[in-house]
Amino acid sequence: MTHRLDYRTWGDPSRPALTLLHAGALSWHEWEPFVETWSKRYFCIAPTALGHGASPAVDRLSFPELGAAVISLLDELQVPRTHLVGSSMGGVTSLYLATTQPERIDRLVLYRCSYRTGPAVAASLTVMQDPETWKRWGLEDTLRSLHDPQGGPDAWRTVLRRVKELVATEPASFDLEAVRAVTAPTLVICGDRDPLVPLEDAVTLYRSIPASALWIVPGATHLISAETIRRPAFEQEILRFLSHPLP
C-alpha cells in the first residue's frame, strides 16, 4: 500500500536533495530550526512519518513501511538520490533505507539512533515515551495539537504507544553484515549521556560502516539538537559533513 505523507520543502529543487526524517512522536517540525540555513545549499524535504501528525494513520508502525513511504514521496518529487539525515526513529528508518536501497542515498547522517531494536531498548524508552514525561516537559499541548489528525485530542497518547511498540517488537531489518555493506559516506552522532542509545552502539556503527565519521557530543543526552546552546554546532557540523570529503 502506498501512503502519501504530509511533508514540507524548502529551497531550490535544482539543488542536491536533503531528506530529513524526524524522531518518533514528533513531525517535520523537528527540523524547523535548521532548514533556513540548510536550504541555502540543498533542497530540503521533511516528511512527517506514517502514524504521526497529518500523515496517514496506521494500526502499527514498521521500519519497512516507514521507509517505503519515504521512497514513495521521493518518487513523487522526482528525486532519484538524496542526502539523508535521520533522528532517532528516523535514524533507524534511514539505516534501513541505506541497507535496502543504497542507490537512492548519497550521504547519510545517523543521529541519536542504534542499529538494534528490541525489549532492552524499549525499556530505556519507557520514560521518554510516558505521557507524564511530556507533561512535565510542558509539551502535552504541542503533541495534542500535532497529532490531532490521527484521531482527536488524545491521539498523541496512541502515537507514543505505537512508537514504543515499534521499538519493542519490530526486529531490525539489518544485521551488522548489512551495516558493513552500507556504501554511503556516513556521519554517526551520539551524546555521551544518551539514555536511549548506548555509546558502544554508536561506536559499533562507526566501526562497521566503511566510509564513516563519528561525532560524540560531550555531556549531551538524547536531545542534542533541541538544546538551544548546541543548535549552531549541530547545524554547521551537518553542513560540513555533507559538503566535504572524508579524509
The count of structural domains within the chain is: 1
- Whether 105 is covered by a domain: the verdict is yes
- Whether 150 is covered by a domain: the verdict is no
Contact 49, 55 (CB under 8 A): yes
Q: Residue 162 pLDDT more than 60? A: yes
pLDDT for 81 equals: 98
- Whether 57 is covered by a domain: the verdict is yes
Contact 89, 24 (CB under 8 A): yes
- Whether 225 is covered by a domain: the verdict is yes
Which parts of 45-154 fold into alpha helices (H)? 63-76, 89-100, 119-129, 131-136, 140-146
- Whether 133 is covered by a domain: the verdict is no
CATH number assigned to the domain comprising residue 114 = 3.40.50.1820
Q: Which domain holds residue 12?
A: 7-118+170-243
Q: Residue 141 pLDDT more than 60? A: yes
Contact 5, 45 (CB under 8 A): no
- Whether 18 is covered by a domain: the verdict is yes
188-227 pLDDT tens trace:
999 998 888 888 989 999 999 999 999 999 988 877 766 6
Contact 90, 45 (CB under 8 A): no
- Whether 163 is covered by a domain: the verdict is no
> How far is 36 from 80, CA to CA, in rounded Å?
23
For residue 216, list its beta bridge partners.
190
- Whether 164 is covered by a domain: the verdict is no
